[in-house]
């Protein structure tokens, strides 16, 4: 079967750095997405990786290793507003999106 | 224009009621999706429409009935639901669906929080 694994919950301190991991086992790979979802709100697009390496966008970076079936989202200079769930999703060989259950990130002052 | 909108935001219904969820996208996209989101579970894809034609139905119970009258509007008609159907129902749109081989980002609405009593 197809599977996406993410930690259920993480806690970090304001101003610090946190890394949220995502490992996947899918039938093929055509790209990986990260979305942010605040409680009660719509998931919003953060990043997309299709080639190995690091993609940086301001305070957020996303890394992909296709050979290891692994990605991470790196959040720097954490702010209270970064408290949210972070969803990892992989496009399989049929271009269907396979979703992880999400990681709830709690930021403490 | 606010991207993807959904109404109502909250809905409480009995098991014998009939209700409908509405989704509207203002992005000019060709594909629209219904997802079910339950606590601590991955998003479950329910239906996909591309250019108003259904292209995917992931074995969803018949008590959920989608309708796509045009590329901007999507409905989910609900009848004789079960308590386990209580969840957040999300609508999304993308420029194309996966059958086009695209890697398009999906844009989500805020969801309808459904409670079935």
Average pLDDT over residues A17-22: 98
Along the 117 residues of chain B, how does pLDDT read in single tens digits?
Answer: 569 999 999 999 988 889 999 999 999 999 999 999 998 899 999 999 988 888 878 789 999 999 999 999 999 999 999 999 999 999 999 998 767 666 688 999 999 999 999
Residue B102: its chain A contacts at CB < 8 A? 95
Of B21, B1, B3, B15, whose CA–CA distance to B88 is shortest? B21
Q: Cα A8 to chain center, whole Å?
A: 12
Torsions phi, psi of B83, nearest 5? -55, -30
- What phi and psi, each to the nearest 5 degrees, are found at residue B92? -140, 160
Distance CA B47, CA A68 (A): 31
Query: In chain A, positions 9-28, which contact chain B (CB-CB < 8 Å)?
Result: none
Interface contact flag, A42 B4, Cβ < 8 Å: yes
3-class secondary structure, B85: helix
Q: Chain A: give the shortest CA distance to residue B54, in Å.
A: 15
Question: Which residue is closest to B43 within chain A, CA to CA?
Answer: A99
Query: If DSSP states are collapsed to H, E and C, what string results for chain A?
Result: CCEEECCCEEEEECCCCEEEEEEEECCCCCCEEEEEECCCCCCEEEEEECCCEEEEECCEEEEEECCCCEEEEEECCCCHHHCEEEEEEEECCCCCEEECCCEEEEEEC
Residues 6+ apart with CB under 8 A from B59: none
Q: Which residue of B has its CA nearest to A49?
A: B103
Q: Please indicate whether, in this complex, the C-beta atoms of B106 and A97 are within 8 angstroms of each other.
A: yes
Contact B101, B114 (CB under 8 A): no
The CA distance from A71 to A53, in Å, is 9
State chain A's mean pLDDT as an integer. Answer: 95
Rounded CA-CA distance B61/B84 in Å is 12
**CA of B56 vs chain A CAs: smallest distance (Å):** 10
Pairing relation of β-strands B64-70 and A84-91?
unpaired
pLDDT digits (tens, 9 = 90+) for A34-70: 999 999 889 999 999 999 999 999 999 999 999 999 9
Give the phi and the psi of residue B85 in degrees, each rounded to 5.
-85, -5
- Residue (of A27, A30, A37, A28) closest to A6 by Cα position: A37
pLDDT score for B101:
63
């Amino acid at each position: 079967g197809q599977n996406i694994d993410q930690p259920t919950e993480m806690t970090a301190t304001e101003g610090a750095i946190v890394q949220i991991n995502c490992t996947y086992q899918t039938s093929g790979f055509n790209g990986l997405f990260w979305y942010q979802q605040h409680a009660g709100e719509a998931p919003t697009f953060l990043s997309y990786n299709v080639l190995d390496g690091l993609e940086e966008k301001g305070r957020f970076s996303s890394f992909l290793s296709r050979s290891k079936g692994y990605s991470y989202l790196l959040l720097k200079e954490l702010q209270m507003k970064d408290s949210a769930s972070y969803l990892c999703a992989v496009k399989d060989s049929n271009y269907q999106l396979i979703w992880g259950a999400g990681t709830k990130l709690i930021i403490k002052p | 224009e606010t991207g993807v909108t959904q109404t109502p935001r909250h809905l409480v219904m009995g098991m014998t009621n009939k209700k409908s969820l509405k989704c509207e996208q203002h992005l000019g996209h060709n594909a629209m999706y219904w997802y079910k989101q339950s606590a601590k579970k991955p998003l479950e894809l329910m239906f996909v429409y591309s250019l108003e034609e259904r292209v995917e139905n992931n074995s969803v119970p018949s008590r959920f009935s989608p309708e796509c009258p045009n590329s901007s509007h999507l409905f989910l008609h609900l009848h004789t639901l079960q308590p386990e159907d209580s969840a957040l129902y999300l609508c999304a749109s993308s420029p194309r669906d996966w059958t086009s081989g695209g890697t398009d980002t999906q844009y989500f609405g805020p969801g309808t929080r459904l409670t079935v009593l």
